Amino acid sequence: MSEHDGVSRRRYLQGIGAAAAGTAMLAGCSSVTGSGSSGLDELDVAYMPIYPDMQYFVMEEEGYFDELSVPVNGEQFPDGPSIVQASAKGDFDVMMFGVVPAMIIMDKGIPSKITAANIEDAMQILATDEFAGLWEEHGKDAFAEFEAQTGRKFTFGTFPPGSVPDILLRYWIDQTLGLDPESDVDIRGLGGATAVQQALLAGEVDGTSIMEPVPTIIEAEGAPFQSVAWAGDFMPGQPAAVTLMHDRLREDNRDLATEFVRQHQRATTLATDDPDTAASHAASFIDSLDQSTARAAMDSPASAFVTDPHAIEGQAVTFSEYASRLGKTDAQLSKSEMFDFGVYDSL
């Protein structure tokens, strides 16, 4: 288990020092307040070990969280649906994960809204080198040609049903290629990024829809896969991971919510301006990611980090329509139901 599955070692050591300082302070004070001026004692944040959550890595490792008025406790999850399950009781103040799981949480009635984007155009469609040759020659008919040659359907392995990679893949097959994702291909939900990466390296699937750093890791390993499509080409402004805030933070503790988004923007700026440092932070959170591969992934077109939620608002509506059509949400969420732009705009 990574040290970042809970509180990082750096923050743990800081806590020891803070505790010592607090003991000295209490010895000379007659009373103290039990929580910060925000009214919350701490912020509980759920996140994933993927590049679309880069801002969390940077905020943690650069000490940006220390500038907030309350401590931040991070809990790592392998995929968005896992956060949805863990959020059933509304325990998290901030959730940094896929836009579709965020919609599912809002649709379930947990009072929350998106206050920041994390990244846009984050998905790559990978396929075997052999299939890439068919793709170049036949285009969308390559899937039928593959089945004719092999006697089976092309198999995609990606995140669980209802995740951003899953729905983005289905959108591409349906809306871009005009094929049926249920009958023309086989789509398997494998779990999180690690499970998909392992399946690709083992040759258990023919392709995937995935975010960084998996495509760069696969390339570094010399596995016979390549990108045949990128979300930025067929769905510019594609939303991926977002920052979803519970209303007890977003509405009841607006100043703290604003400061969180301010540090988020600061982290985005660092990731854009200093990719070497950001890559180093990512490598400390993502298992089996070495420094050179982490840095190479920063140069991918799928590593387009943003904070401004307006950047993804248009395609978020598209995702909402598709999520509703697939039965992932009971209702089709409107832009105003999904977003609180005011926190970011107040910066």
Instruction: Note the pLDDT tens digit of each residue in 225-277.
Output: 999 999 999 999 999 999 999 999 999 999 999 999 999 999 999 999 999 99
pLDDT grade, residue 79 (50/70/90)? confident
Tokens of 92: 């998290």
Tokens of 66: 């220390």
Give the Å distances, CA to CA, from 346 to 41, 85, 258, 337, 340.
24, 32, 8, 19, 11
What is the structure's pLDDT at 282?
97
Q: How far apart are CA 331 and CA 103, in angstroms?
A: 10
How wide is the angle at C-alpha 250 spanned by C-alphas 84 and 100, nearest 5°? Answer: 30
The mean pLDDT value of the chain amounts to 89
Mean pLDDT of 335-347: 97
Coil, helix or strand at residue 340? coil
Tokens of 272: 């854009």
pLDDT grade, residue 37 (50/70/90)? very low
Beta bridge partners of 277: none
284-323, pLDDT tens digit by residue?
999 889 999 999 999 999 999 999 999 999 999 999 998 9
Contact assessment for residue 132 and residue 115, using Cβ atoms and an 8 Å cutoff: no
Tokens of 30: 């007659």
% of residues, the chain, pLDDT over 70: 89
What is the structure's pLDDT at 7?
44
H or E segment and range at residue 322: helix 313-325
171-185, pLDDT tens digit by residue?
999 999 999 999 999
Checking phi first, is residue 214 left (phi over 0); if not, alpha (psi -120 to 50) or beta? alpha
Kindly tell me if the per-residue pLDDT of 223 is higher than 70.
yes
In the chain, what are the domains? Answer: 8-112+238-345 (3.40.190.10), 124-234 (3.40.190.10)
Mean pLDDT of 66-95: 92
Give the Å distances, CA to CA, from 98 to 85, 151, 162, 240.
14, 35, 10, 5
Mean pLDDT of 154-170: 92
